[in-house]
Amino acid sequence: MKAAVIVFPGSNCDRDMACAFEKAGLAVEMVWHKDTALPQGVDIVGVPGGFSFGDYLRCGAIAANAPIIGAVRVHGERGGYVLGVCNGFQVLTETGLLPGALLRNAGLKYICRTIGLQVEGESVYTEGYGTGSTLALPIAHHDGNYFADDSTLDMLEGEGRVAFRYTDNPNGSARDIAGVLSENRRVLGMMPHPERAAEAAHGNEDGARLFAHLTGALTTA
Ligand SMILES: NC(=O)CC[C@H](N)C(=O)O
């Protein structure tokens, strides 16, 4: 099983994401944003956190137009798995692979702390926790305020596509949404960082289960 992690100028969680995939048993290839094709046989594409292109224009907006994004879009539209974390979630909404947008935090401040999450929508990313269970993950963002119009939010909730909700909303996100799934549940975007809570040295291993279950599900698929 193989993961590709996309690297943009300003990515700063690309190595962390690669380590989390590797620890869970996936082979990983780093892919520079100027490439136009994914490596052969990629099962999942990771779009990492960071400050791609200095967050100029809007977080993720320039990265969403990078040369590699055409191949990521084709991978997602063909039913491939894509995991976008933080800036990666922002990139995925900018590409249209996921609905909604990430606005400036309601308090207008960068927030860097551990928050509580409740697990919802069924997917290879969330099944390792189980619906209704809670976990704690770090957040580190200034544009994490999830926005979508009411009919889109109703649709996401009706289809069970809210993957995670904040237990104590830190940023003003609509309906406490911290992560959303694509219609086929194979594309996940989330603001909290599971890769920063993936081994004992991090002081929190709540994120490891996401990667471990994902690998198990891909291996048996
Ligand atoms: N950690 C991140 O990926 C941050 C994303 C983005 N730069 C923001 O601050 O909102």
Catalytic residue among 75, 142, 193, 213: 193
Residue 221 pLDDT > 90, yes or no?
Answer: no
Rounded distance between C-alpha atoms, residue 195 and residue 11, angstroms: 14
Query: Of all atoms in ligand 1, which is nearest to the CA of residue 144?
Result: 10
Residue 44 pLDDT > 90, yes or no?
Answer: yes
Catalytic residue among 33, 86, 120, 142: 86
Residue 48 pLDDT > 90, yes or no?
Answer: yes
Task: Tell me which of 218 and 60 has the higher pLDDT.
Answer: 60
Centre of ligand 1 from the C-alpha of residue 121, in Å: 24
**Is 193 an annotated catalytic residue?**
yes
- Among residues 68, 1, 85, the alpha carbon closest in space to that of 32 is found at 68
Residue 194 banded pLDDT, cuts 50, 70, 90: very high
Q: Sign of dihedral through CA atoms 124, 125, 130, 132?
A: negative
Residue 149 pLDDT > 90, yes or no?
Answer: yes
Residue 86 banded pLDDT, cuts 50, 70, 90: very high
User: Residue 218: its pLDDT value, please?
Assistant: 87
Centre of ligand 1 from the C-alpha of residue 132, in Å: 27
Residue 220 banded pLDDT, cuts 50, 70, 90: confident
Protein residues whose CB sits closer than 6 Å to any atom of ligand 1 = 49-51, 55, 59, 86-87, 140-144
User: Residue 219: its pLDDT value, please?
Assistant: 85
Pocket test for ligand 1, best of 59, 62, 92 (most atoms within 8 A of CB): 59
Residues above pLDDT 70, as percent of the chain: 100
Mention every residue, 6+ apart, whose C-beta is less than 8 A from residue 37.
Answer: 71
Asked if 189 and 98 count as a contact pair (C-beta separation under 8 A), the reply is yes
User: Residue 211: its pLDDT value, please?
Assistant: 97
Which residue has the least CA distance to atom 4 on ligand 1?
A: 141
Indicate yes or no: pTM above 0.95. Answer: yes
* Domain that residue 8 falls in: 2-220
Mention every residue, 6+ apart, whose C-beta is less than 8 A from residue 167.
Answer: 115, 116, 117, 118, 134, 176
Rounded distance between C-alpha atoms, residue 205 and residue 217, angstroms: 19
Long-range own/partner contacts, residues 154-157 (CB < 8 A, 24 or more apart)? 156/99, 156/180
Query: Of all atoms in ligand 1, which is nearest to the CA of residue 52?
Result: 7
User: Residue 127: its pLDDT value, please?
Assistant: 95
User: Residue 151: its pLDDT value, please?
Assistant: 98
CATH of the domain at 82: 3.40.50.880
Centre of ligand 1 from the C-alpha of residue 50, in Å: 5
**Is 202 an annotated catalytic residue?**
no
Rounded distance between C-alpha atoms, residue 212 and residue 201, angstroms: 17
Domain count, the chain: 1
Which whole number is the average pLDDT over 63-85?
97
